[in-house]
Amino acid sequence: MYEACNKAYVDAGIDPRKDVGSFITCAEDYWEGFSIFDEFVPDQIGALLRPCCTVCGDGLYGLGTAYMQIMTEVFDVVAVEAHSKVSDLLTYGDIVLHAFDPVYEKPVSGPVERPWYGGSPEYSEQDPKPLIGATDEKQRVHPYFLAGLEMQHYLKTTGTTEEQCASVVVKNKKNAYANPYADYELNIDVEDVMKSEYLFKPVKKYDIAPNVDGAICFVLADDKTAKDLGIEPIYLEGFGWCSETPWLSTRGFDALYAKKAARMAYKMAGITSPKKELDVIEVDDRFSYKELQHIEALGLAKPGEAGFMAENGDLEIKGELPTNPSGGSLGVGNSLEATGLQKALEIVTQLRGHAGKRQVPEVEKGLAQAWRGIPSGSGAVAVFGR
């Protein structure tokens, strides 16, 4: 965290101890292993004895929060940080499972007793622990089964094929070669993806973004302060976020959160025909079908169309709608709550023209979109412009 933040402060030419008005971290307790993670934030981001807080959401929520704080005219400069230290987690699957509804969903996945390390604790006779009718199950199902359910739904309702999803994997892993921060670049073809094993049918091994560590920090300032600092700023022109019901029971599984968040962001940014106005986008692709589903939800393709765009190369860097030029989560890795900032960072890099080999030509406006991951139905959208 210290490294990422320091880079951002040096890039912005500011001293966090003097110039930054407020600090925001995006984190969740169980990702970190502390009951109150907020405790461990201030020192490394330079927020000692300053206003600093935690937003439990993706990094893009942090950007939105920073935007609002600046708009209150109380702060000039706000720093936003998000990170992933997923390699510290020994039981990633079980932690994600812990996010499911405790009454109706968690117990369906397997035994309620602790399955792996050291068995269950002892309780006295009076305690409620010994439930009647314990089951003989030994394993809990990996929470990514939910992606299997949703992908099934997406393929059925839009007529998209598994091959089309596979082409997303191929593109993103290839894009990642040009990104020095990417960890999962790979030169594979659609056939390789199709041959990888089904983990949660129809989700295959290669359809899933592997986890990665990292930290990202953004510095936002109002227009005047940015000009005083002498930087050519990139503007956060619009953002939106939205949550769907947490109940799987009544959820539609068609990325309604992304549709609503996009509508809000477009309105704020004054975008009327997104397809024409956006030059480059980064959307959440923690599962390959998610990229296609999100492109459609953002109003950049009709339902069922995105798959063909992927197949025809329209989503490539030189294509009509360059999508995930950074390599996305499939190429860079799933960095938990930092995912949104990784995407926003790529858009900012593209708008600044600093993307090197993966630079998309002539970019004026870009969009970053993130989803909070399984099992949530929440996501955010940010529109950036020069």
Q: Which is nearer to other proteins, 125 or 232 (CB)?
A: 125
Rounded to a whole number of angstroms, the minimum distance from the CB of residue 298 to other proteins is 16
Q: Which is nearer to other proteins, 54 or 172 (CB)?
A: 54
Rg, the chain, Cα only: 21
Q: Which is nearer to other proteins, 99 or 300 (CB)?
A: 99
CA angle, 176 then 89 then 242, to 5°: 65
Helix axes of 288-297 and 145-158: crossing angle, nearest 10 degrees? 50
Could you tell me where the DSSP H helices lie in 209-334?
Answer: 223-229, 256-269, 274-277, 288-297, 305-312, 328-332
Segment holding 240, helix H or strand E: strand 235-243
Cβ neighbours of residue 97 under 8 Å, at least 6 residues apart? 106, 109, 140, 142, 143
Rounded to a whole number of angstroms, the minimum distance from the CB of residue 360 to other proteins is 29
Compute how many other C-beta atoms are within 10 angstroms of the C-beta atom of residue 212. 21
Rounded to a whole number of angstroms, the minimum distance from the CB of residue 326 to other proteins is 22
Q: What one-letter code names the amino acid at 67?
A: Y
Rounded to a whole number of angstroms, the minimum distance from the CB of residue 128 to other proteins is 5
Rounded to a whole number of angstroms, the minimum distance from the CB of residue 289 to other proteins is 12
Residue 297 tokens read as 């939800």
Residue 210 tokens read as 């592997």
Q: Which residue has the tokens 């900032």?
A: 341
Segment holding 306, helix H or strand E: helix 305-312
Rounded to a whole number of angstroms, the minimum distance from the CB of residue 318 to other proteins is 35
CA 349 – CA 345 distance, rounded (Å) = 6
Rounded to a whole number of angstroms, the minimum distance from the CB of residue 104 to other proteins is 5
Q: Which is nearer to other proteins, 15 or 228 (CB)?
A: 15
Q: Which is nearer to other proteins, 257 or 384 (CB)?
A: 257
Q: Which is nearer to other proteins, 97 or 271 (CB)?
A: 97
Q: Which is nearer to other proteins, 129 or 275 (CB)?
A: 129
CA 329 – CA 309 distance, rounded (Å) = 19
- Find out whether 182 and 333 touch, Cβ atoms under 8 Å: yes
